[in-house]
Structure 1
Amino acid sequence: MLTPAPGVHYAITLDGTAVLDTMAGKWLMLDASAAMVWRAAVTTGSVAGLADRIAIPAGLDPAAVRDAVHDCVASLLERGVLVDTARPPAPRRRWWRR
Protein backbone atom coordinates (compact mmCIF):
# COMPACT_ATOMS: atom_id res chain seq x y z
CA MET A 1 0.00 0.00 0.00
CA LEU A 2 1.36 3.40 -0.98
CA THR A 3 1.09 6.18 1.57
CA PRO A 4 2.80 9.51 2.30
CA ALA A 5 5.93 9.10 4.39
CA PRO A 6 5.90 10.23 8.02
CA GLY A 7 6.40 13.98 8.19
CA VAL A 8 5.13 14.55 4.65
CA HIS A 9 2.25 16.95 4.09
CA TYR A 10 0.72 17.86 0.75
CA ALA A 11 -1.79 20.15 -0.93
CA ILE A 12 -3.51 19.19 -4.17
CA THR A 13 -4.38 22.11 -6.45
CA LEU A 14 -5.73 22.46 -9.98
CA ASP A 15 -2.20 23.04 -11.31
CA GLY A 16 -0.46 20.19 -9.48
CA THR A 17 0.53 19.16 -5.98
CA ALA A 18 2.85 20.73 -3.42
CA VAL A 19 4.57 18.17 -1.17
CA LEU A 20 6.41 19.24 1.98
CA ASP A 21 8.91 16.86 3.56
CA THR A 22 9.24 18.27 7.08
CA MET A 23 12.03 15.83 7.96
CA ALA A 24 14.25 17.10 5.14
CA GLY A 25 12.86 20.63 5.13
CA LYS A 26 12.22 20.50 1.38
CA TRP A 27 9.32 21.22 -0.92
CA LEU A 28 8.57 19.11 -3.98
CA MET A 29 6.31 20.58 -6.65
CA LEU A 30 4.51 18.03 -8.83
CA ASP A 31 3.10 18.95 -12.22
CA ALA A 32 -0.42 17.90 -13.23
CA SER A 33 0.68 14.49 -14.54
CA ALA A 34 2.69 13.58 -11.44
CA ALA A 35 -0.13 14.96 -9.29
CA MET A 36 -2.52 12.40 -10.81
CA VAL A 37 -0.12 9.64 -9.78
CA TRP A 38 0.26 11.14 -6.28
CA ARG A 39 -3.51 11.51 -5.86
CA ALA A 40 -4.13 7.88 -6.85
CA ALA A 41 -1.36 6.65 -4.56
CA VAL A 42 -2.46 8.52 -1.44
CA THR A 43 -6.24 8.14 -1.85
CA THR A 44 -6.43 4.49 -2.91
CA GLY A 45 -3.04 3.22 -1.77
CA SER A 46 -2.25 1.95 -5.25
CA VAL A 47 -1.74 3.07 -8.82
CA ALA A 48 -3.14 -0.17 -10.26
CA GLY A 49 -5.22 0.59 -13.33
CA LEU A 50 -4.23 4.25 -13.39
CA ALA A 51 -2.29 3.91 -16.65
CA ASP A 52 -5.33 2.50 -18.44
CA ARG A 53 -7.61 5.21 -17.02
CA ILE A 54 -5.23 7.82 -18.46
CA ALA A 55 -4.19 6.15 -21.72
CA ILE A 56 -7.42 4.77 -23.16
CA PRO A 57 -9.50 8.00 -23.20
CA ALA A 58 -6.50 9.98 -24.48
CA GLY A 59 -5.66 7.45 -27.20
CA LEU A 60 -2.17 6.83 -25.79
CA ASP A 61 -0.18 3.62 -25.62
CA PRO A 62 -1.09 1.98 -22.27
CA ALA A 63 2.35 0.35 -21.99
CA ALA A 64 4.13 3.70 -22.34
CA VAL A 65 1.82 5.34 -19.79
CA ARG A 66 2.29 2.36 -17.44
CA ASP A 67 6.08 2.82 -17.66
CA ALA A 68 5.73 6.55 -16.95
CA VAL A 69 3.50 5.89 -13.91
CA HIS A 70 5.98 3.28 -12.64
CA ASP A 71 8.88 5.73 -13.09
CA CYS A 72 6.97 8.45 -11.25
CA VAL A 73 6.18 6.16 -8.30
CA ALA A 74 9.80 4.97 -8.20
CA SER A 75 10.99 8.58 -8.10
CA LEU A 76 8.60 9.47 -5.26
CA LEU A 77 9.72 6.39 -3.32
CA GLU A 78 13.38 7.23 -3.93
CA ARG A 79 12.88 10.81 -2.73
CA GLY A 80 11.33 9.42 0.44
CA VAL A 81 8.03 11.29 0.21
CA LEU A 82 6.04 8.15 -0.56
CA VAL A 83 6.40 4.78 1.16
CA ASP A 84 5.21 1.33 0.19
CA THR A 85 4.03 -0.37 3.37
CA ALA A 86 4.11 -3.75 1.60
CA ARG A 87 7.90 -3.51 1.30
CA PRO A 88 10.24 -3.31 4.26
CA PRO A 89 12.26 -0.09 4.35
CA ALA A 90 15.77 -0.25 2.95
CA PRO A 91 18.40 -0.52 5.67
CA ARG A 92 19.97 2.82 6.42
CA ARG A 93 23.71 2.93 6.53
CA ARG A 94 24.86 4.59 9.71
CA TRP A 95 27.82 6.94 9.55
CA TRP A 96 29.60 5.12 12.38
CA ARG A 97 29.39 1.74 10.61
CA ARG A 98 31.67 1.42 7.64
Structure 2
Amino acid sequence: MLTIPAHVHWGRCSGSVAVLNLRTGQWQMFSGVGAHIWDVIALRGSTAGLAEEIAAPADVPTTRASVGTYVTTLIELGLLTEAVGQPRKKRWWQR
Protein backbone atom coordinates (compact mmCIF):
# COMPACT_ATOMS: atom_id res chain seq x y z
CA MET A 1 0.00 0.00 0.00
CA LEU A 2 1.23 3.47 -0.86
CA THR A 3 0.42 6.43 1.36
CA ILE A 4 1.06 10.15 1.33
CA PRO A 5 3.07 11.06 4.45
CA ALA A 6 1.80 13.70 6.87
CA HIS A 7 4.63 16.09 5.89
CA VAL A 8 3.33 16.20 2.31
CA HIS A 9 0.49 18.55 1.39
CA TRP A 10 -1.12 18.64 -2.01
CA GLY A 11 -3.98 20.09 -3.95
CA ARG A 12 -5.47 20.27 -7.41
CA CYS A 13 -5.08 23.44 -9.42
CA SER A 14 -6.02 23.98 -13.05
CA GLY A 15 -5.99 20.29 -13.93
CA SER A 16 -2.61 19.72 -12.31
CA VAL A 17 -1.53 18.63 -8.85
CA ALA A 18 0.71 20.84 -6.68
CA VAL A 19 2.63 18.94 -4.01
CA LEU A 20 4.61 20.49 -1.13
CA ASN A 21 7.14 18.51 0.87
CA LEU A 22 7.33 20.37 4.20
CA ARG A 23 10.57 18.64 5.17
CA THR A 24 12.47 19.96 2.17
CA GLY A 25 10.36 23.01 1.34
CA GLN A 26 10.21 21.86 -2.28
CA TRP A 27 7.17 22.11 -4.50
CA GLN A 28 6.41 19.65 -7.29
CA MET A 29 3.81 20.18 -10.01
CA PHE A 30 2.33 17.18 -11.79
CA SER A 31 0.17 17.39 -14.88
CA GLY A 32 -1.23 14.94 -17.41
CA VAL A 33 -0.40 11.33 -16.66
CA GLY A 34 1.69 12.32 -13.62
CA ALA A 35 -1.31 14.04 -12.04
CA HIS A 36 -3.50 11.04 -12.85
CA ILE A 37 -1.04 8.65 -11.19
CA TRP A 38 -0.96 10.87 -8.08
CA ASP A 39 -4.77 11.01 -7.92
CA VAL A 40 -5.09 7.23 -8.20
CA ILE A 41 -2.51 6.62 -5.48
CA ALA A 42 -4.20 9.19 -3.21
CA LEU A 43 -7.58 7.54 -3.77
CA ARG A 44 -6.70 3.83 -3.90
CA GLY A 45 -3.29 3.57 -2.25
CA SER A 46 -2.22 1.27 -5.07
CA THR A 47 -1.15 1.28 -8.70
CA ALA A 48 -2.82 -2.03 -9.50
CA GLY A 49 -4.22 -1.87 -13.05
CA LEU A 50 -3.06 1.71 -13.48
CA ALA A 51 -0.80 1.09 -16.52
CA GLU A 52 -3.71 -0.45 -18.44
CA GLU A 53 -6.05 2.33 -17.29
CA ILE A 54 -3.69 4.98 -18.65
CA ALA A 55 -2.81 3.17 -21.87
CA ALA A 56 -6.33 2.32 -23.06
CA PRO A 57 -7.82 5.82 -23.60
CA ALA A 58 -4.56 7.39 -24.77
CA ASP A 59 -3.70 4.44 -27.05
CA VAL A 60 -0.08 4.47 -25.86
CA PRO A 61 2.01 1.54 -24.70
CA THR A 62 2.33 2.47 -21.02
CA THR A 63 3.98 -0.32 -19.10
CA ARG A 64 3.89 -1.32 -15.48
CA ALA A 65 7.63 -0.65 -15.39
CA SER A 66 7.19 3.02 -16.38
CA VAL A 67 4.49 3.52 -13.74
CA GLY A 68 6.73 1.72 -11.25
CA THR A 69 9.68 3.97 -12.11
CA TYR A 70 7.51 7.07 -11.59
CA VAL A 71 6.28 5.78 -8.22
CA THR A 72 9.85 4.90 -7.17
CA THR A 73 10.88 8.49 -7.94
CA LEU A 74 8.01 9.81 -5.80
CA ILE A 75 9.15 7.57 -2.94
CA GLU A 76 12.76 8.74 -3.31
CA LEU A 77 11.57 12.37 -3.19
CA GLY A 78 9.78 11.58 0.09
CA LEU A 79 6.34 12.26 -1.39
CA LEU A 80 5.06 8.70 -0.94
CA THR A 81 5.76 5.91 1.50
CA GLU A 82 5.12 2.22 1.30
CA ALA A 83 2.98 1.29 4.28
CA VAL A 84 2.64 -2.42 4.83
CA GLY A 85 -0.48 -3.41 6.74
CA GLN A 86 -1.21 0.07 8.07
CA PRO A 87 -4.67 1.56 7.51
CA ARG A 88 -4.81 4.88 5.68
CA LYS A 89 -5.62 7.82 7.90
CA LYS A 90 -8.11 10.37 6.68
CA ARG A 91 -6.82 13.90 6.60
CA TRP A 92 -8.87 16.67 8.23
CA TRP A 93 -10.29 17.80 4.88
CA GLN A 94 -11.49 14.26 4.04
CA ARG A 95 -13.64 13.78 7.14
Alpha-carbon offset, residue 57 of structure 1: 2.5
1:70 aligns to 2:68 (yes or no): yes
**Distance in 2 separating the partners of 1:38 and 1:9:** 12
**Distance in 2 separating the partners of 1:24 and 1:34:** 21
Alpha-carbon offset, residue 78 of structure 1: 0.5
1:21 aligns to 2:13 (yes or no): no
Contact persistence 2:7–2:23 (CA under 8 A): yes
Higher alpha-carbon Rg: 1
Q: Residues 16 and 65 (structure 1 numbering): CA distance in 2 closer, same or farther, change over 3 Å? A: farther
Contact persistence 1:19–1:28 (CA under 8 A): yes
Alpha-carbon offset, residue 40 of structure 1: 0.7
**Distance in 2 separating the partners of 1:56 and 1:33:** 13
What is the aligned-residue RMSD (CA, Å)? 1.7
**Distance in 2 separating the partners of 1:80 and 1:3:** 11
Letter in 2 for 1:13: C
Q: What percent of counterpart residues are identical?
A: 35
Q: Report the count of equivalent residues.
A: 85
Q: Which runs of 5 or more residues in structure 2 are unaligned? A: 86-95
Q: TM-score, normalised by structure 2?
A: 0.79
Q: TM-score, normalised by structure 1?
A: 0.77
Letter in 2 for 1:85: A
Q: Which runs of 5 or more residues in structure 1 are unaligned? A: 88-98
**Distance in 2 separating the partners of 1:39 and 1:47:** 10
